[in-house]
Amino acid sequence: MALAKDYASVMGRSNDIMKEALGLDYSEFESGSVAFDYEALMKSTGYTLEEINKIQSRTAVGNTPLIELRNLSALSRKYAKPGYGARIFAKDEAANASGSFKARRAACAVAHAKKLGYKGVIAATSGNYGAAVASQAAMQGLKCIVVQECFDSNGVGQPEIVEKARACEAYGAEVIQLTVGPELFYTFLSVLEDTGYFNASLYSPFGIAGIETLGYEIAMQCRELLGKDPEMVVCTNAGGGMITGTARGLIKAGATNTQMVAASINLTGLHMASDVQFNKKSCTTGHTGFGVPYATDPDHSDVPRSAARPLRYMDRYVTVTQGEVMYMTEALANLEGLERGPAGNTALAAAFSLAQELPEDAVIVISETEYTGAGKHVQPQMSFARENGIDIHFGNPAEEDKPGVNVILPKDPGCIKYKEADIDHFRASLIKKAVKAHCPDVAKLTDADLNFLAEETKKDVAFVKEVLKTL
C-alpha cells in the first residue's frame, strides 16, 4: 500500500525515516528524560581518529596547510598596544577536495554509506556541504541528491547559493531547489523515503567525527612549526559542527588549554525563515541566524539528536558584521595573496581584532578557509545587496551597522572590532529549552539530567540549578 505523502503524514514518520536512512537507532542513547549518552552516540560511528584519517586521505581530504598570515598580523599590531598582537595562522581548508572543511564531514559520511551498501546519499544544505557530499559521492561511485533552500517566493536566489548549486551539479549531483520555508525538511524526508538513500546529515556522528581530524592537525602542526599549542582557535559558527569537531580533535591531541572562540556575523533582526528577509542578508552562512538557534537548541536539526553541540566546547562567542567580513576578504587577497570565500573570513575578521588583545608571541588560528567562486565574491554579493535596497558605504560598523538595512565597510582596519556575545545567556536558554522539551516538571529531573546539562553548557551543576530556579 502506498504511503500518504502529505506534509503531516511524512513529518509524522520522521523518526522511522531517519532510522532507515542512517542505519542508526537513536533510541539506544536515550534515558527517557533530558539526558542522553552523547559520547556513546559519537562512538557509534565505529571509527577511530586514525581510521577516519585513512578514509579522508584516500579521497584528497585532510592534511591541509597551516599558513601564517604575516602581513595581516603586522597590520593588526598597528592597532594593538606595545608588545601585543598575536601571530595569526589560517588552516587552509580550501585545499580539500571540493574546497572547504565540509569535505571532512562528507568523506566520513559517504564512506560509511558505501560500507553499509546504500546506493546513494542525500544532503539538505544550501552551503558548501552539498558540494562536499557531491564530490565524495563522485569519488566513491554513489549517486547524490542535494536538497537546497535557494529562492524567495519570487524565484530570486542569492548569488552564493546559486553558485553552490552549480558546484553540486558539476560533481554530478541532482539538485532540488526550493523556496524558503518548512518545505525543505518535508521534501528532504520525502526524498529519503522514496529513494532509500543514506542521510549524509551535517549533524550525524559520522559528520562531526570527520571534523575531529581538523582539530588534531591544528595541534600537531602548531607543535611542529612553533613548539607549542595555539593559545586560541577561532571557528566560524553556524550549525555548530565546526567548533564541536575541531575542539574534540584538539582535546584528543591533548591541547586542552587552547581557548575555543566561536565567531558569527551578526544578523540580529533578520528572520531566516522569512520570505521577505531571506534576500536581505548578504552572507548566507556563518551568521547568528543559524549560530544562535543551533547553539541553544542543537536538536532542531535533521536528525533526532545532533552530534554538533557547540556550547559543550565554546569558551567565548563573538560577532562581527557583514561589512567587516567583506573588508577582510579583500584584505586577505591583497595582503596575503589568498583569495578565499566569506565563511572562513568570518573567523578571520574576528581573529584580526582578538589578536590585538594577545601578546606578540601568542598564536591564534582560524580553523578554516573556503574556496571562492563566481557567486561568492564580494562584488556580486554587494551588487545583490544593492538590488535588494541595501545601502553600502564606508564608515564605522560598530556604530552604523543595521542588518537588512545596510552593509558598512570599515573606513580603516582599526574599525574592525568584534562584539562579545552573552554566552551565559545562550547557556541558560539551552537549559530552559531542553527541560521544556524533555522534562517540563523540574522536580523530576535526575542527577544524571543535571550533570548532562552542566556538560552541555560547559558549566557546573550549580549554574544549572540557578537557571532552573527561573522556570
The reported pLDDT for the residue numbered 305 is 94
pTM of the model: 0.96
Closest CA to 221 of 89, 124, 87, 396: 89
Distance CA 241, CA 272 (A): 19
The reported pLDDT for the residue numbered 1 is 56
Distance CA 1, CA 22 (A): 24
The reported pLDDT for the residue numbered 400 is 97
For the stretch 129-188, pLDDT in tens is 999 999 999 999 999 999 998 888 888 888 888 888 999 999 999 999 998 877 888 999
Beta strands across the sheet bearing 259-265: 66-68, 87-91, 363-366, 232-236, 259-265, 316-320, 419-420
User: Which three cell numbers mark 326?
Assistant: 567583506
The reported pLDDT for the residue numbered 264 is 97
Which single residue is written with the C-alpha cell 581557548? 259
Q: Phi then psi for 58, rounded to 5 degrees?
A: -75, -20
Enumerate residues 6+ apart whose C-beta is below 8 A from 310. 237, 240, 243, 244, 262, 294, 295, 298
Q: Give the residue extent of every domain in the chain.
A: 55-96+206-420, 423-468
Residues 194/316, Cβ–Cβ less than 8 Å: no
* Local structure of 63: helix, strand or coil: coil
**What is the DSSP code string of 10-60?**
HHHTHHHHHHHHHT--GGGGB-SSS-B-HHHHHHTT---HHHHHHHHHTTT
The reported pLDDT for the residue numbered 463 is 98
Greatest pairwise CA separation for the chain in angstroms: 75
The matching CATH number, chosen from 3.40.50.1220, 2.40.50.140, 3.40.50.1100, 3.40.640.10, for 55-96+206-420 is 3.40.50.1100
Spans in the chain with pLDDT lower than 50 = none
Q: Phi then psi for 397, rounded to 5 degrees?
A: -55, -35
Closest CA to 380 of 220, 165, 162: 162
What does the CA dihedral 310, 313, 315, 321 come to, rounded to 10 degrees? -30
